Amino acid sequence: MSALKFVFSAVVLVLNTLLFCASMTPFALIKLLLPFAPVRRATDRVLNFIPQLWISVNNFWLMAVNRSQWQVSGLEGLRPDGWYLVTSNHLSWVDIVVLQRVLNRRIPMLKFFLKYELIYVPVLGLAWWALDFPFMRRGGGANARKDLKAAREACEKFRLLPTSVMSFAEGTRFTPAKHADQQSPYQHLLQPKSGGLGMALSTIGDLFTGLVDVTLVYPQGTPSFVDAMSGRLGDVVVVVRQQPIPPDLFKNGARQRAQLQSWLDGVWQSKDALITQIKATPPAP
């Protein structure tokens, strides 16, 4: 049965992705050839609408093959016409489809900070470029500085339409080995890094409605993407907490970066305590 579910999920996902990218290509080419603000506004509206349909189809196969209990809270007051800075703990590639299912159409489409190498992924790389996802290299050097400039320019383009800038602040998926290697001060989390959030805040911080802090917990254990496609997702707990962003963090300087890191550490301390509380709570019947 798991094999049949996997085949069903894979067929729907592949066909959905190919149709999604094919639909985006004409508008991406227009955006490339006519890089003017009025044209960008028109093409970006279409380019941001198409992924909502793609996410809806992904939600269909995800829920069709899994009989999971979802406990979701904190969605009240979110607006699809706002600008949001979004962060979450990171456990698995499944996190992305979970976040998209929970937040789709409630806030603008999530724009992720991506590793530069992902721009070369067939089909999807073009889609991510057309959607202005910021691509970033790890490490230093001239190329990294060039990518930093490109990522800032991508964030600046978010002024044209309501946008949700998403950053997994830990920078990588949680594993016990990484947790031990970092000597993380948190029980359930890796140490957060403020680089991506700081870039977004210093570029368009004045637009943000607030921070959307998402906490993800998989009570039966962290699933892989193959598990999700095979009907072994397990239960999902999602807690969304909204909070204002201190205006002092909108500036770009050494003092502001230190303040941002301190503020983010506070968010992570609260998140760690919440995960402890969730894990100690008996599952709902």
**pLDDT tens sequence for the chain (285 residues):** 899 999 999 999 999 999 998 999 898 889 888 888 888 888 888 998 999 999 999 999 999 999 999 999 999 999 999 999 999 999 999 999 999 999 999 999 998 878 777 778 877 787 888 888 877 765 555 555 666 676 677 777 788 888 899 999 998 999 999 999 999 999 999 999 988 888 888 888 888 999 999 999 999 999 999 999 999 999 999 999 999 999 888 877 777 789 999 999 999 999 999 999 999 876 665
Query: What is the CATH class of 67-280?
Result: alpha beta
Residue 110's DSSP bridge partners are 164
What is the pTM for the complete model shown?
Answer: 0.89
28 backbone φψ class: left, alpha, beta (φ>0; ψ -120 to 50):
alpha
- Give phi and psi for 231, each to the nearest 5: 85, 15
Q: How far apart are CA 40 and CA 25, in angstroms?
A: 14
Task: Determine contact, residues 80/108, Cβ cutoff 8 Å.
Answer: yes
Strand spans (E) along 22-121: 70-73, 84-88, 110-112, 114-115
Q: How far is CA 210 from the centre of its chain?
A: 16
